[in-house]
Every structure is written in C-alpha cells, then in structure tokens.
Amino acid sequence: MAPSKEELERRRIVGVELERVSNVTSTDFPGHYPGEDHSWNLDDFKKNSKIDIHKANDLDYEFDLIGVDASVANAFRRILISEVPTLAIETVFVHNNTSIVQDEVLAQRLGLVPLRGDKKGFQQLRWRKKSPDEPAAEATDFNTVVMTLKVACTRNHATPNTETDPSKLYFNSSVYARDIKFAPQGRQSSWFSGAGEIRPVNPDILLAKLRPGQEIDLEIHCVLGIGQDHAKFSPVATASYRLLPSIKIKKPITGEDAEKFVNCFPKGVAEVQKDKKTGENTAVVVNPRKDTVSREVLRHDEFKGKVELGRIRDHFIFSIESTGMYNSDELFLQAVQILKKKCTDFQEKLMES
C-alpha cells in the first residue's frame, strides 16, 4: 500500500523541539520502509532529485542538493575535502636563509600557500607518487613544477633619520607570496604562460620579515597531491552542508505576537504582513533558509501549539569555498566525476567476483 502524502511529508522532517530532536532515526536501508515497494528507479530519481544554485562565483558556491540521502551528500563533501587533486609545494631546497624564520618553519609556511595557473596546463601534469608510502618517480616537467624565492633586504639611504617605518627604511623588509616566481621547466613554458603562469592565489600572504644583510634564497618543487595525504593539497577552505530548516505556522499569529514571533528569528526569516481577509497584522515565514534553528520561538508560552520547527531530511544547503586553484563550481563537478568513477570501479569488481 502506497503511503499518503502526509506520511511522506512526515518522513522528510526531522523534528526540532524545545529539549530534543525527534524523528532522527533512519531505516536500515535509507528510504526503505517495510511493506512498501522502494526499488530504485532511474525515472523516479530524476523526478525527485534536483540542484538549485543560489550563489556562484570563483571562490564561493552555494546550492541546494535535493532528493538524495545524507550518505550521498556526505560523499561529495568528503571527496571535495580529500580526493580532488591539486598542486602544492612539496619540497624546499634552502640555498641561503639568514632570516629569523627557521628553515623548517619557512618550508611549512610555503607549503600552505595555495597556487593557481592555467587549468588546461594542470591537465598535462602527472602524479609523482600516488601515495605517501610509494617512492617518488624521477622529477620531470610532467610531474614537478619548479619555483624560486630569492629576496635580499637592503637599507634605503634616501630616508630621513626620523623615519621609523620599516617599509620605507628598507627595501624588501617583508617577504610576500608574490615574491615566489615560476621557473618553467621543459614544456611547462607553453603550458603555463602569460596570465596562466603558476603563481600564489593571494600575493599578499606574508612569509617572513627581513632586515639589512638578511636574505632568503630557495628552490621550490611543487607536485600533485590530494587532501587525504596532507591538508595543503585540499582544494577547499571548507565544504559543508546543512539541512534546510522547516518552520510551520499551525495557527495564525497576529498582533503584538506577530512582531514577537518575527524577532525570534534572524533577520529575513519571517515578517509581518496584513491578512487580506481580516486586515490583521499576521506573522508569515518568507525565507526559512536564513534560519539558524535557535529554538528561541519555543521558549515562549504564547507560541505553544502554533509553530512547529524541523529540518528537511533530504534537502541539503551545500556550501563550497575554493582555495583558488579551481573555481568553486568546477570543484563540485570534479567531485561528481570522482564519485562516478568510484561507482564504475566498484561495479567492475562486482562483475569480476
């Protein structure tokens, strides 16, 4: 027997009550209930699943992933954090470092500087090693990108004796990420040229401070890697999701209570509107996605039995913040491709067994 629309809607809501969260337990197999036919159907999946994009720019991407289980949403999140390959600084050869920053500390700072360049050029690069345990292959222009950092601090004799600002007293008193220069090897000069040259995403990252007589002279080798091996390879500053809040007004909330109701939520979640039939000021929910589910409204006796809070179990508000090597929307597409390949590989293994 097919469940009613009311029952289907009830199953989608995780209840948020004053002192507990209800209806959180999933079934043994997500989306399956005894006595009902829940066999997977591609047409039903296409009908019930969708993606709504709310914000898309180079570094920030926010979209709604609707009609999938939490395991699928979490798979995308984990792939984004740890399995999309990026380029990062792996080895630092110190020719000279007379700054106060120790060699190993400077190398650690450099490793965490995100890099960017021509995306088509990155497709030419290959893995130097696919896991930390296996030995690295010989360095070539296909698997290693070379960069240099050479800065020396000198005194500016043109400044007056009363000057105290180090940036005016000295040349190169601060070493920034912009001082890291790309040194193309072999065919890399054609893969990464002009605006597509490999460079730090943010040129203003401070690496060290120098004084006259101090110098930093380094050769830097960058390789492909994934966040699973080290956080420096992670292409995202963050990748997260939350369930869409559900706010149901079961009985009209009018007059002064309407104003109080609106003030229980962050700005933009609810507002007071005039009822077309009665002309009274009535509370209306206009944008539940802005809600932080604070439960403030449940603390007031005048709203008991009038409002029901929850979260929609299969509606995920997904947020991706890119570190800059790839645009944020491109990262999600890469995560989809990686998950697709995992499914294909698993299917092939099943066929072999």
Distances (CA, A) of 118 to 83, 226, 320, 326: 20, 19, 21, 10
Q: Which domains can be identified in the chain, with CATH numbers?
A: 86-232 (2.170.120.12)
CA distance linking residue 327 with residue 337, whole number of Å: 16
Query: What interhelical angle do 70-82 and 328-352 show, nearest 10?
Result: 110
What is the average pLDDT score of the chain?
A: 92
Burial class (CB in 10 A: 0-12, 13-18, 19+), 307: buried
Least confident of 37-46, 64-73, 228-237: 37-46
Q: What per-residue confidence (pLDDT) applies to 284? A: 95
The number of beta carbons lying within 10 Å of the beta carbon of residue 212 is 14
Tell me the per-residue pLDDT of 271-283, one tens digit each, with 9 for 90 and over: 999 988 888 999 9
* Structure tokens that stand for 93 in this block: 């050869």
CA distance linking residue 205 with residue 202, whole number of Å: 6
Mean pLDDT computed over 334-338: 96
Q: What per-residue confidence (pLDDT) applies to 100? A: 96
Q: Is the pLDDT at 338 greater than 90, yes or no? A: yes
Collapse the DSSP code of 344 into the 3-class scheme (helix H, G, I; strand E, B; otherwise coil) and give the result.
helix
Contact (Cβ atoms closer than 8 angstroms) between residue 291 and residue 245: yes
End-to-end CA distance of the chain: 37
CA distance linking residue 100 with residue 69, whole number of Å: 52
Residue with the bigger pLDDT between 23 and 248: it is 248
Q: Is the pLDDT at 144 greater than 90, yes or no? A: yes
Q: What per-residue confidence (pLDDT) applies to 9? A: 84
Tell me the per-residue pLDDT of 146-203, one tens digit each, with 9 for 90 and over: 999 999 999 999 999 899 999 999 999 999 999 999 999 999 999 999 999 999 999 9
Q: What per-residue confidence (pLDDT) applies to 213? A: 95
Q: What per-residue confidence (pLDDT) applies to 334? A: 95
Tell me the per-residue pLDDT of 129-142, one tens digit each, with 9 for 90 and over: 777 677 778 899 99
Q: What per-residue confidence (pLDDT) applies to 101? A: 97
Collapse the DSSP code of 164 into the 3-class scheme (helix H, G, I; strand E, B; otherwise coil) and give the result.
coil
Q: Return phi, psi of residue 6, to 5°.
A: -65, -40
Q: Identify the band that residue 29 occupies on the pLDDT scale cut at 50, 70 and 90.
A: confident
Q: What per-residue confidence (pLDDT) applies to 26? A: 67
Q: What per-residue confidence (pLDDT) applies to 344? A: 94
Percent of the chain with pLDDT over 70: 98
Q: What per-residue confidence (pLDDT) applies to 120? A: 93
Q: Is the pLDDT at 24 greater than 80, yes or no? A: yes
Contact (Cβ atoms closer than 8 angstroms) between residue 224 and residue 86: yes
Distances (CA, A) of 98 to 95, 102, 109, 206, 236: 10, 9, 16, 17, 34
Mean pLDDT computed over 47-64: 93
For residue 148, give every residue at least 6 positions away whose Cβ sits within 8 Å of its Cβ, in sequence order, or none.
180, 181, 183, 218, 219, 220
Contact (Cβ atoms closer than 8 angstroms) between residue 144 and residue 223: yes
Locus of tokens 């021509």: 118
Q: Return phi, psi of residue 231, to 5°.
A: -60, -25
Q: Is the pLDDT at 266 greater than 90, yes or no? A: yes
Pairing of the two strands 180-182 and 154-155: unpaired
Of the CA atoms within 13 Å of residue 122, those in its CB half-sphere come to 20
Q: What per-residue confidence (pLDDT) applies to 134? A: 75
Q: What per-residue confidence (pLDDT) applies to 34? A: 79
Q: What per-residue confidence (pLDDT) applies to 292? A: 92
pTM given for the model: 0.88
* Structure tokens that stand for 71 in this block: 């395991």
Q: Is the pLDDT at 1 greater than 70, yes or no? A: no
Q: Is the pLDDT at 28 greater than 80, yes or no? A: no
